[in-house]
Amino acid sequence: MNYCVVGLQWGDEGKGKVVDVLAEHSDIVVRYSGGSNAGHTVVVGETKFALHLLPSGSVRPNVSCVITNAVVVDPDVLIKEIETLAQKGITLKDRLLISENAHVVLDYHKREDQLREESLGKKKLGTTIRGIGPCYADKAGRSHAIRMGDLRNLEEIKAKLQTIVEYKNKVFAAVYNTEPISADRIYEKCKSYADQFLTFTTDTTEFLHRSIADGKSILFEGAQGTLLDLDHGTFPYVTSSNSSSLGMPAGCGVPAKMVDKFIGVAKAYTTRVGAGPFPTEQDNEIGQYIRDKGNEYGTTTGRPRRCGWFDAVAVSYSAKIGAIDEIALMHLDTLAGLKEVKICKAYRIKEDRGQKTEDRGQKTENRRETRPAEASRGRTTWFPANTAKLSQASPIYETLPGWDDDITEVNDFHKLPSNAQNYIHRIEEITGKKIAIIGVGPKRSQTIFRAEGRRQKTEDRRQK
């Protein structure tokens, strides 16, 4: 089986853990987009790993780890990550492959990211300042790009860096009035990257196709989340790559039809780091409760994450464009102790210049609910991935009773408090997707597998 695991919200859904659990049955794990802006936490026994660039499955010592073409590689971060794993007794020797066509994040990218964010003041995007956007911009611009395979020819890189750094320094001085950076210093770093990484650098597309032909099982790991996708997310408050599952085929050269199952990961609530619209945000004591209990602070930047209710409109959209087969719903334990829990099942969006926001599905629902025509105006169950529209959206909630019990030791769906089961069922009904995996804590063992999800739901109802 080949799986693709992808986030359905704004990142940090708990993909790291889902991937780690699935990697047990995989031969190869693949990172196909983004860079060290990602932060994946994996807990093995008592040891916690915070990974940024390596696939989360790399903590399993027997799997091959592949970083493909569309990933932007910061070799400084990669070196640190490899060392951290080595200190914990995990080696990547002979099992790491990096695409020769993956672009390299260099110091000037990080500098540019930081300077641009600072210059934007209140209008900043809230990036991770890892140089991701500037590196992808150079990739699209082509003439200033450096790829992993280029490290094979250091003479050429030396000449190229002179041109690039001269240009960057002119911009840094003219626009940001800052000190120049040294091309020689970056060249020295490139030399050391060549020493350390050329043995891992290869044609990963060929490797993946050969592996598929040999019947190996591959796990494709998404980074960030669908709503941060450059083309399909909440632009400009997005990352600079196709972080949805749509980015998988382009990112690694393997067609989506070679994937047997797409698993979408969502949290039982919603979080977002950085700026941008967030309709279900709870900037109040509920948000704080979730932040503290769920330890919602960024793995990469340490920033407190914005927290809010589960947004079924957003998740349904992500599931639709991502051809998601099943949902993994993480952090269900975090919601314990709340008197009531809410699911956003539609938005009301002020109609703009005669735009009709009502969709067909909603019309049927409104008829059923015999809503007055007035009340249904501007109501939609389709997520507008357009920031101007989305910032006008007010959530329409369904409120459900909460549960008090600690569920962190529960390993069977039927042993969950009935209100928690009910919460899961409602999310399944609203999104139309099966919730096959439920996370009740950070450890591998704190995972409920519910392969019979849908059938069980029907049975449960029959029993009622």
Q: How far is the CB of 171 from ligand IMP (least distance, A)?
A: 18
Compare residues 72 and 346 and give the one whose CB is closer to ligand IMP. Answer: 72
In single-letter form, the type of residue at position 220 comes to: F
- Reply yes or no on whether 12 is catalytic: yes
Report which residue's Cβ sits closest to ligand IMP. 274
φ, ψ of residue 385 in degrees (nearest 5): -85, 50
Determine if 5 is a binding residue for ligand IMP (CB under 6 A).
Answer: no
Report the partner that residue 421 touches, choosing among ligand IMP, Mg ion, none (CB closer than 5 to 8 A by kind).
none
Compare residues 11 and 279 and give the one whose CB is closer to ligand IMP. Answer: 11
Determine if 111 is a binding residue for ligand IMP (CB under 6 A).
Answer: no
Determine if 134 is a binding residue for ligand IMP (CB under 6 A).
Answer: no
Could you list the residues that contact Mg ion (CB under 5 A)? 12, 39, 299
Report the partner that residue 127 touches, choosing among ligand IMP, Mg ion, none (CB closer than 5 to 8 A by kind).
ligand IMP
User: CA-CA distance, 94 to 148, in Å (whole number)?
Assistant: 18
Q: Which two tokens stand for residue 213?
A: 């032909």
Determine if 78 is a binding residue for ligand IMP (CB under 6 A).
Answer: no
Report the partner that residue 294 touches, choosing among ligand IMP, Mg ion, none (CB closer than 5 to 8 A by kind).
none
Q: Which of 59, 77, 228, 343 binds ligand IMP (CB under 6 A)?
A: 228
With contact defined as beta carbons under 8 Å apart, do 172 and 180 qualify? yes
With contact defined as beta carbons under 8 Å apart, do 223 and 38 qualify? yes
Q: How far is the CB of 41 from Mg ion (least distance, A)?
A: 7
With contact defined as beta carbons under 8 Å apart, do 409 and 358 qualify? no
Q: How far is the CB of 14 from Mg ion (least distance, A)?
A: 9
With contact defined as beta carbons under 8 Å apart, do 52 and 129 qualify? no
**DSSP label at residue 301:** T
With contact defined as beta carbons under 8 Å apart, do 4 and 247 qualify? no
Report the partner that residue 240 touches, choosing among ligand IMP, Mg ion, none (CB closer than 5 to 8 A by kind).
ligand IMP
Compare residues 59 and 410 and give the one whose CB is closer to Mg ion. Answer: 59
Compare residues 10 and 200 and give the one whose CB is closer to ligand IMP. Answer: 10
Q: How far is the CB of 42 from Mg ion (least distance, A)?
A: 11
List the x/- string, 8-27, binding to ligand IMP by CB under 6 A: --xxx---------------
- Active-site residue, from 12, 138, 229, 333: 12
Q: Which residues of 33-58 are buried (b: 16+ CB within 10 A; e: fewer)?
A: bbbbbbbbbbbeeeeebebbbbbbbb
Compare residues 126 and 361 and give the one whose CB is closer to ligand IMP. Answer: 126
DSSP bridge partners of 66: 30, 97
Q: Which two tokens stand for residue 13?
A: 């859904």
- Which pairs count as long-range contacts for 90-94, CB under 8 Å and 24+ apart, including other chains? 90/58, 90/59, 90/61, 91/61, 92/54, 92/58, 92/65
Q: Which of 14, 16, 75, 274 binds ligand IMP (CB under 6 A)?
A: 274
Q: How many residues bind ligand IMP (CB under 6 A)?
A: 21
Report the partner that residue 114 touches, choosing among Mg ion, ligand IMP, none (CB closer than 5 to 8 A by kind).
none
β 434-439/326-330 pair status: parallel
Determine if 39 is a binding residue for ligand IMP (CB under 6 A).
Answer: yes
For 189, residues 6+ apart whose C-beta sits below 8 A from its C-beta are 75, 76, 106, 107
- Active-site residue, from 20, 40, 144, 311: 40
Q: Which two tokens stand for residue 70?
A: 């569309």
How far, rounded to the nearest angstrom, does the alpha carbon of residue 240 sit from its chain's CA centroid? 12
For 141, residues 6+ apart whose C-beta sits below 8 A from its C-beta are none
Determine if 130 is a binding residue for ligand IMP (CB under 6 A).
Answer: yes
Interacting stretch for ligand IMP, rule CB under 6 A, among 18-26, 125-133, 339-347, 419-427? 125-133
Report which residue's Cβ sits closest to Mg ion. 39
Q: Which of 239, 244, 316, 334 binds ligand IMP (CB under 6 A)?
A: 239
User: CA-CA distance, 40 to 457, in Å (whole number)?
Assistant: 32
HSE-CB for 252 with a 13 A CA cutoff: 31
Q: Which of 33, 128, 244, 447 binds ligand IMP (CB under 6 A)?
A: 128
Q: Which of 99, 201, 224, 226 binds ligand IMP (CB under 6 A)?
A: 224
For 366, residues 6+ apart whose C-beta sits below 8 A from its C-beta are 358, 376, 379
With contact defined as beta carbons under 8 Å apart, do 380 and 358 qualify? yes
Report the partner that residue 304 touches, choosing among ligand IMP, Mg ion, none (CB closer than 5 to 8 A by kind).
none
Determine if 273 is a binding residue for ligand IMP (CB under 6 A).
Answer: yes
Determine if 38 is a binding residue for ligand IMP (CB under 6 A).
Answer: yes
Q: Which of 33, 64, 69, 127 binds ligand IMP (CB under 6 A)?
A: 127
Compare residues 138 and 221 and give the one whose CB is closer to Mg ion. Answer: 221
| Surface-to-core class of residue 257, CB atoms within 10 Å of its CB (0-12 exposed, 13-18 middle, 19+ buried) | exposed
Binding site for ligand IMP (CB under 6 A): 10-12, 37-39, 125-128, 130, 132-133, 223-224, 228, 237, 239-240, 273-274
Residues labelled catalytic: 12, 40
